[in-house]
Amino acid sequence: MNLSTPETILSIQDLHASVEDQQILYGVNLLIKEGEIHAIMGRNGSGKSTLSKVIAGHPAYKVLSGSINFKGTNILELAPEERARVGIFLGFQYPVEIPGVSNLEFLRVATNSRRKELLKNELDTFEFEDLVKERLKIVEMDPAFLERSVNEGFSGGEKKRNEILQMALLEPVISILDETDSGLDIDALRIVASGINKLSHPNSATILITHYQRLLNEITPDFVHIMADGKIIKTGNKELAIDLEKSGYDFIDKNTKDKELAK
Amino acid sequence: MNQTNTVEEIVSQPYKYGFITDIETEKIPKGLNEDVIKLISKKKKEPEFLLKFRLRAYEQWLRMKEPDWSGLNYSKVDYQNLVYYAAPKQDIKKKSLDEVDPKLLETFDKLGIPLSEQKRLSNVAVDAVFDSVSIATTYKEKLAEHGVIFCSISEAINEYPDLIEKYMGTVVPINDNFFAALNSAVFSDGSFVFIPKGIECPMELSSYFRINSGDTGQFERTLIIAEESSSVSYLEGCTAPMFDTNTLHAAVVELVALDNASIKYSTVQNWYAGNEKGIGGIYNFVTKRGECRGKKSKISWSQVETGSAITWKYPSCILQGDNSIGEFYSIALTNNFQKADTGTKMIHIGKNTKSKIVSKGISAGKSKNSYRGLVSISPSAEGSRNYSQCDSMLIGDNASANTYPYIQSKQPQSNIEHEASTCRISEDQLFYLQSRGIDFEESVSMLISGFCSDVFNELPMEFASEADKLLALKLEGSVG
Amino acid sequence: MKSSAICREWLNSLPPTQGYLKEEQSIGRKLLSTKGMPSNKDEAWRLCNFNRLNSFLSLPIIINKKDFTSKLKYILPEKEKDRERIIINLTENPSKNINLPNGVEKLNDIEIKQNLGKIVKLMNIKNDISVGLNQASSSELLALKVKRNMIESLEIVIPSIEKKSISTRIFLLIEEGAKLDLLQVFLGNKNSAQNHLMEIKVESNVEMTHGLISMGEEKESSSICTLAVEQSKNSKYSLHSIHHGWNYARFEPRIIQNEGEASTIVKGLQVTKSKEQIATHSLIRFEGPNGKLDQLQKAVASEYSHCIFNGSIEVPKKAQKTEAAQLSRNLLLSKRARIDTKPELEIVADDVRCTHGATVSQLQDEELFYLLSRGIDNEHANSLLLKGYYDEILSHFPKSAGKWNVIEKLIKDIIK
């Protein structure tokens, strides 16, 4: 057994970022270690999705100051595909439809580019089909989806399952799942959540970005962070999420106000 | 935006077929007059009717004016400064491939079209045309077993004059347009295909055109006849060396489909497009037309157009037979100063005729990419339907994409639907692919392929990969 | 007679250039005498019925008041209380003796000089025959402005005169922040011709709704109308037009967003019967970024008639982020009728969203069957469907348009 202290995967320090000349993040700090599950909660517009896009390197988002280190290396200069290859995975809130591009082909190219990074052999069409069929079971997805264009005409739930399938294939070190639970019915939520649970791993970590507590009934986070106005304003354990569910976001506002008053 | 710049770099890449084969050619002197036409006809040992055909066309051509309607400005061709016949010095077609000049075989090898028995493609019969002359046709004997005739048009003129006389010029009349008239007067070679009644052609047929001389006009002529209940899939590819002058290519293609026959005609056109300053390149002024003469016949055009300085081409279908079907699938990729004005004409005459048009234009650099098409429903074409879809993708803000669909209906019991859109590579789609570890260049390439997928799906198997490779090649380059 | 000879004769029939449109008259006459009439080789006139165009030119043009003898025999619907009506009858300077609402003023000579002809020139159309015809023959001008931030409604009625041809010229300046609701009505007459040139300058933050009802008279009436609109930033211009009943009509709306950032709506309906030919040639150009266009052109062709639509949209490089949608929908109701439609998109800017579509069909059998199966008789069912088809255009007209009984006529004329 490995008893040494768990390694830091992601370290974000005093991150300020903007999109379309509007600043959204005002000093985010976050430390994520191996084996941990973090949940980030907050109202719409609090900066949760922006944070995920910045970590993944979306070109429309500009980092104004601060740093993001992945396993001790600064990743801010890396292109999005390079971040993906080292093992950063973003599960999109709204996965984009790409008509004409075969889902199977897309998954294979993506998987091979990650495998190349891991110095594993690249898979040919047949080998890949075997792999993908096995991984499909994790998300209980119909193989027919492989024959279609990327996300094209998929329902909300099917798109999210396709995201988790990609996660299963890319075997990321850190998965940032942006509102993966939104728009899912109970069954789909259960499938997606069990997929995430099956894929979690002592050497990897997960960030769940969510608006509601219900996903957290299925996946137990080690830490819960609350974001407001582009900052993490409170960190706690699962209880915090439950409090939040009970009393709503107003209770945070009140808390922070009290704090400010106390100062 | 620097993203746009890099996408632009990706679509620019050097032309890989620009080499010249050093071979002794026999050329007749430059210029065009009756004597030159008589000389061409004599060199090809043509029967009297064909000489008359040529001279009639020449007479018409003299009376016609070079068109200038499509807003394409180009330096006009000096027709007296062209060579109208050039052939590699060897006797008229050799009986066996072994006798063909090895330099020619090597040329086609280099182009990825091996002709020699050991290396040739297993399920494709190839007619290789070098400058004005067909130098070899593979699998002729095997095809003959099925009654399929596949040979150069010169050979057909001598061996099957009845078929030629019966069909040539019936789909594209000699006075159809300026370039068709010129072609009818001086055409040098090309391919001839005849599929007899009830025969499904056992393999893909393919012609490969290579321009080698800089001052030679290329005027090939293709005639395909599919008799009742027969079918054939035909492919055509073309390349040329890099010259800094413009070379004229004015081909005529005629297709005839009788009752229940089906012809699928695919083109990958990669003539030299000129350099990044717009100097040189081929003028590709081609008349392609198919006639669905018979009931329930079908003609399907698919094309991937990536080359030529200027392309003017509208592969068309005359839907004469009741219940006949016309299709047109096109990808046109232009870059630098290329101009492509392409599309189709679907002329509905018979009852319950159907046509489908799918056109994808991609323009980069300072190029101009236009879709121009006509859908015409005659009063007799009761129950006819057309569906057209024209999508354009723009890369960079100096390229232009135009759509000019002409729609004309005189039959109330018919339906026409046309849709068109213009877009650029979506940032979100690009980011999605990149965020899965796929690099920028490959992501762009995937998105462009995806944009074109409706058309790729229509290409014959052997060809789809070639076309995809061609696009990928066009897209190859360094990411800045 | 050849059309060039007819054109020459027509030019000769015009009085000498005179009045304050003298300069314009010489420009138009010079163009026509050098270029002559168009032919089917000209892309913009390819489908024109040239016999009709020739008969258009064979009617004597009214220039002098004394030519005007016949009285107006139209019975016009009562005018609305808060919508001033201007009738252009060419017996006098159209801007004399009219009651203008508070917010509307006549332009003074300096303003006219500054503006007249500028918008047409801006369009930069080679051999602009329609405009030339008007310039050559117009002798009076109605030039008005809606003052800053005012909200006004106007009605302009232009009747035709039997056996005569009239040419009208209008210039409207809609000043910053103003709102104008304009209803314009063209009325045909037996054996008559109309020729209009209208320029509208829409300044920034203006909202203008422009309803145009153009109803001919079956027997040999014709109309050629060029409408040139220049829109500044943040303006909104909506054009809603109906053309019907002209033996020959040609409508050329041209709209230019000179700085982009504006919104344009164009909804047109043309309905033809007997041997009519009605053509719409629209041109919308974006000269700056972020412009929007929503265009819908509907046509119904019955009997032996011919409907033509040619819709050009130009998006040059400077017009990034333009969003333009054009749809041409056509109903072909008879075997002898004909529809030609040609959307034209010319795009250089890469970050744009432009779509266009066209359909040609008959009234939907299933829809018809559905109504019939509910016991509605054929005629009624057809008129219901037609009404539905028209509604997309008509519903955008100002309410007062209802008085002109357009919809009734459009249905009655088509279902016989």
More confident residue, B471 or C121: C121
Q: What is the CA radius of gyration of chain A?
A: 19
Partner B contacted by C39 (CB < 8 A) = no
Partner B contacted by A90 (CB < 8 A) = yes
Do residues B395 and B367 make contact, with C-beta atoms less than 8 angstroms apart? no
- The predicted pLDDT at position C305 comes to 95
CA distance C336 to chain B (A): 7
Question: Considering only CB atoms, which chain B residues are within 8 Å of A123?
Answer: none
Chain B residue with minimum CA distance to C42:
B69
- The predicted pLDDT at position B131 comes to 72
Chain B residue with minimum CA distance to A60:
B427
Question: Considering only CB atoms, which chain B residues are within 8 Å of A81?
Answer: 433-440, 443
More confident residue, C246 or B131: C246
Partner B contacted by A159 (CB < 8 A) = no
Candidates A59, A84, A100; nearest CB to B451: A100
CA distance B178 to chain C (A): 16
Do residues C160 and C126 make contact, with C-beta atoms less than 8 angstroms apart? no
Helices and strands (DSSP H and E) totals, chain B: 12, 24
Is B407 within 8 Å of C340 when comparing Cβ atoms?
A: yes
Do residues B480 and B17 make contact, with C-beta atoms less than 8 angstroms apart? no
Question: Considering only CB atoms, which chain C residues are within 8 Å of B410?
Answer: 332, 335-339
- C-alpha pair distances (Å), C3 with each of B314, B416, C10, C35, C58: 33, 35, 10, 12, 10
Alpha-carbon gap, residue B152 to A56, rounded angstroms:
58
Is B450 within 8 Å of A79 when comparing Cβ atoms?
A: no
Candidates C353, C354, C362; nearest CB to B412: C362
DSSP letter assigned to residue B203: S
Look at B289-298, B414-423, C94-103, C215-224 and tell me which has the smallest mean pLDDT. C94-103
Partner B contacted by A61 (CB < 8 A) = no
Residue with tokens 């009349």: B173
Taking each helix axis as running N to C, give the angle between helix B440-451 and helix B2-11, from 0 to 180 degrees, rounded to the nearest 10.
70
Helix locations, B396-460, DSSP H: 427-434, 440-451, 453-456
Partner B contacted by C343 (CB < 8 A) = yes
Look at A110-119, A244-253, B206-215, C144-153 and tell me which has the smallest mean pLDDT. A244-253
Is C347 within 8 Å of B400 when comparing Cβ atoms?
A: yes
Over 50: is that where the pLDDT of C248 sits? yes
Question: How would DSSP label each residue in C115-176?
Answer: HTTHHHHHH--TT-HHHHHHHHH----EEEEE-TT-EEEEEEEEE--TT-EEEEEEEEEE-T
**Phi, psi dihedral angles at B394 (to 5 degrees):** -110, 135
- The predicted pLDDT at position C227 comes to 97
Over 90: is that where the pLDDT of B136 sits? no
Question: Considering only CB atoms, which chain C residues are within 8 Å of B416?
Answer: 358-361
Do residues A169 and A107 make contact, with C-beta atoms less than 8 angstroms apart? yes
Question: Considering only CB atoms, which chain C residues are within 8 Å of B11?
Answer: none
Is B406 within 8 Å of C342 when comparing Cβ atoms?
A: yes
Mutate to test the interface with C, among B411, B413, B415, B444 (most CBs of C within 10 A): B411
Over 70: is that where the pLDDT of B359 sits? yes
DSSP letter assigned to residue B216: B
Closest to C265 measured CA to CA, from C241, C239, C288, C242: C239
Mutate to test the interface with A, among B432, B442, B455, B471 (most CBs of A within 10 A): B432
CA distance C129 to chain B (A): 19
Partner B contacted by A92 (CB < 8 A) = yes
Is B435 within 8 Å of A81 when comparing Cβ atoms?
A: yes
Confidence of residue C125 (pLDDT cuts 50, 70, 90): confident
- Return all residues near B320 (Cβ < 8 A) that are at least 6 apart: B291, B292, B293, B349, B350
DSSP letter assigned to residue C339: E
- The predicted pLDDT at position B3 comes to 47
Q: Give the mean model confidence (pLDDT) for residues B428-432.
A: 92
Is B450 within 8 Å of A101 when comparing Cβ atoms?
A: yes
| Domain residue ranges in chain C | 3-258, 364-416
Is A149 within 8 Å of B453 when comparing Cβ atoms?
A: yes
Over 70: is that where the pLDDT of B176 sits? yes
Question: How would DSSP label each residue in C276-318?
Answer: -EEEEEEEEEE-SSS-EEEEEEEEEE-TT-EEEEEEEEEE-TT
Helices and strands (DSSP H and E) totals, chain A: 9, 12
Confidence of residue B256 (pLDDT cuts 50, 70, 90): very high
Instruction: Select A8-262's CATH number: 3.40.50.300, 3.40.50.150, 3.30.470.10, 2.40.50.180.
Output: 3.40.50.300
- The predicted pLDDT at position B476 comes to 46
Is B431 within 8 Å of A110 when comparing Cβ atoms?
A: no
Is A170 within 8 Å of B436 when comparing Cβ atoms?
A: yes
CA distance B429 to chain A (A): 6
Q: Is the dihedral of CA A154, A160, A165, A170 positive or negative?
A: positive
| Domain residue ranges in chain B | 11-425
Interface of B with A (CB under 8 A): 3, 426-429, 431-440, 442-443, 446-447, 449-454
Over 50: is that where the pLDDT of B17 sits? yes
Closest to B356 measured CA to CA, from B454, B252, B456, B261: B454
Over 60: is that where the pLDDT of C68 sits? no
Is B416 within 8 Å of C334 when comparing Cβ atoms?
A: no
- Return all residues near C108 (Cβ < 8 A) that are at least 6 apart: none
Is B399 within 8 Å of C357 when comparing Cβ atoms?
A: no
Is B415 within 8 Å of C360 when comparing Cβ atoms?
A: yes
Q: Give the mean model confidence (pLDDT) for residues C111-137.
A: 91
Q: Report helix, strand or coil for B94.
A: coil
Q: Is the dihedral of CA B54, B60, B61, B62 positive or negative?
A: positive
Question: How would DSSP label each residue in C191-203?
Answer: TEEEEEEEEEEE-
Q: Give the mean model confidence (pLDDT) for residues B109-115.
A: 73
CA distance A262 to chain B (A): 44
Residue B328, beta-bridge partner list: B301, B357
pLDDT > 70: percent of chain C: 93
Token pair of A7 as six digits: 């390694």
Average pLDDT, chain C: 88
- The predicted pLDDT at position B1 comes to 36
Candidates C342, C346, C353; nearest CB to B407: C342
Per DSSP (E only), the strands in chain A are 8-19, 22-33, 37-42, 61-70, 73-74, 88-91, 98-102, 149-150, 174-178, 205-210, 223-228, 231-236
Q: Report helix, strand or coil for B337.
A: coil
Is B449 within 8 Å of A57 when comparing Cβ atoms?
A: no
Partner B contacted by A19 (CB < 8 A) = no
Q: Write the pLDDT tens digit of every residue in C14-51.
A: 888 888 889 999 999 999 999 888 888 888 898 999 98
pLDDT in tens, chain A (263 residues): 455 678 899 999 999 999 988 999 999 999 999 999 999 998 888 999 999 999 999 888 999 999 999 999 999 999 888 999 999 999 999 898 888 888 998 899 899 989 998 999 999 989 999 999 999 998 888 999 998 988 989 988 899 999 999 999 999 999 999 998 887 888 888 888 888 898 888 899 999 998 878 888 889 999 999 999 999 999 998 888 888 777 777 766 666 555 555 55
Question: Considering only CB atoms, which chain B residues are within 8 Å of C350?
Answer: 4, 394-397, 399, 424
Partner B contacted by C300 (CB < 8 A) = no
Confidence of residue B58 (pLDDT cuts 50, 70, 90): very high
| Domain residue ranges in chain A | 8-262
Mutate to test the interface with A, among B360, B425, B436 (most CBs of A within 10 A): B436
Alpha-carbon gap, residue A92 to A127, rounded angstroms:
27
Over 60: is that where the pLDDT of B480 sits? no
Token pair of B49 as six digits: 């009717």
Over 70: is that where the pLDDT of B146 sits? yes
Chain B residue with minimum CA distance to A117:
B437
Over 70: is that where the pLDDT of B471 sits? no
Question: Considering only CB atoms, which chain C residues are within 8 Å of B401?
Answer: 345, 347
Candidates A95, A96, A109; nearest CB to B442: A109
Over 70: is that where the pLDDT of B304 sits? yes
Look at A50-64, B123-137, C9-23, C345-359 and tell me which has the smallest mean pLDDT. B123-137
Confidence of residue B69 (pLDDT cuts 50, 70, 90): low
Confidence of residue B71 (pLDDT cuts 50, 70, 90): low
